[in-house]
Structure 1
Amino acid sequence: MDIDMIYYSELEEWYTTNAFRSFSVKYVVDNCIYYKIDGKEHAVNAGTYMTACKYDNVYAYNKLPIKSICIDICPDTVLETFTVLTTGHEDFDNFLSGHFKYPEFFESLHSVTNTTIGAKLQQLLSRIEKEKTPDINKEWFMDLSERIIYQEYGNYLALNEINSVKATTRKEVLHRLQLAKEFMDSNYLEIAEIKEIADHCNMSEYHFFRRFKEVYKKTPYQYITEHKMQKARQLLSEKKHTVSEVALLCSFPDVFTFSKSFKKFFGIPPSLVK
């Protein structure tokens, strides 16, 4: 593909063997699309998008009626974006030479609610629903490419933190850790034990704990606590709840534990939040 394209689809049945004819972003709006890449099947559920490079013989199909957006980005757009981003940026130069030569993107799945790419995809969906055929210019595709490059740069840094010789092993570990992070992002108020997260991404509890800390430089517990603290601060700033109510809403056992954790995290007691 030598042009940038956007396809919006509403299909009862769909099957193809040429799902990734260019670098692609697959955003599923309703239900689920299944992609099989090199023998590994990826289920892209509603509210999730997948990024992947050009592959031959990628199978894709659905089991229920689907709504989805597919975005193909041509090599020239990606390379032009590279040029702008890498000017005078030594870290990015090393990134490109060592890992990120087009089209070697790391296929990954993300929720549209947690990333800048997801925000752009949701805006696109809103425009399609209102305008049917919105006018999308070159700058739009370059902005999307830039967001993808920064996402992949994060993947590159994370992969380098995983202590394994085989690239396929490192990619599989990172894929599972990404599933774990998305699970925590969506369920941080309900998670009672780390084992729940490890089970979700099919890792042993110890292996998950060690790998997560290795890659993200914090423990799963610290990651969940950060989410709780940010949620607590948001609720307190709205002035609709007491400190005791916020402690309960953010899954703390009591107001004393909550207040102590809040002060340690933000440097002020919850009662002083404005």
Structure 2
Amino acid sequence: MIRLYENKHQEKNEVARHQHDTHQLLYVLDGEGECELDIRSQNLLPDSIMLISPHTDHGIQAHSKMTVLVLEFDIRHLAEDVVSYLVEPVFAVSRVLNLSLFESSELRQLLRKMLFEQSQNHPIHTMGLKLLLAQVLYQLAIMQQEDTTQDTNTRRAKWLKHHLETRYFEIASMEEVAAKAGVSSRYMNQIFKEMYDTTPYQFLTEVRLLKVKKMLRESDREIVSICFEVGFEAVSTFYRVFKKYVGVTPNVYRRTTDDFRN
């Protein structure tokens, strides 16, 4: 059983202390409040996450109108490796996590996808729901492994690198990426270059060109199709960038690699 639902709390609304047999993740979409986990009291803000292990006493008090997305699941419906490597470490201690903008963007996107899968009445969407839950848990597990001594800029740069490596095909502008990270594009360039000795745009270009070269070597697909698939919006720009970084045009590169194979 995996279930997502929304709870809306009015100002000063209080949920009395109680327990569940299931695991719960409560994501604060907006508003502020306070929660009690066992004997601890912690503040809740937008993009706060409550991780609640089974049989944990917990309660909530809203200080303002507050919307909370509840993700509830029973581990009996999950694969053993998901439980061992993801659920158990993430929920080892019931606690509240306060996410930054760049940390929350990935989780919000995954939760939106889960809401869609839940709305579809077909076994394949049930499988999709389980896969997305594993991705949510994976993101939380990675965050948990982060060195707590790392400063915010280091975590921003690492998030940005991962984002560029995995979402290269849909990035339209660096300004859009900077907005997701919660910083200006100028500041984003600065912290990324300090850590990786290159700019985000140069790194993105290199990631895209690596994908392009692989497809040119290993497939007969049209060059124009490859260009758009990896995220270039104009063919002329793609040809110019490829020639600048690789030294030859895509057509010549493909012929050269074909000749080498033959």
**How high is the TM-score relative to the length of structure 2?**
0.49
TM-score, normalization by structure 1: 0.48
Return the index of the structure with the highest Cα Rg: 2
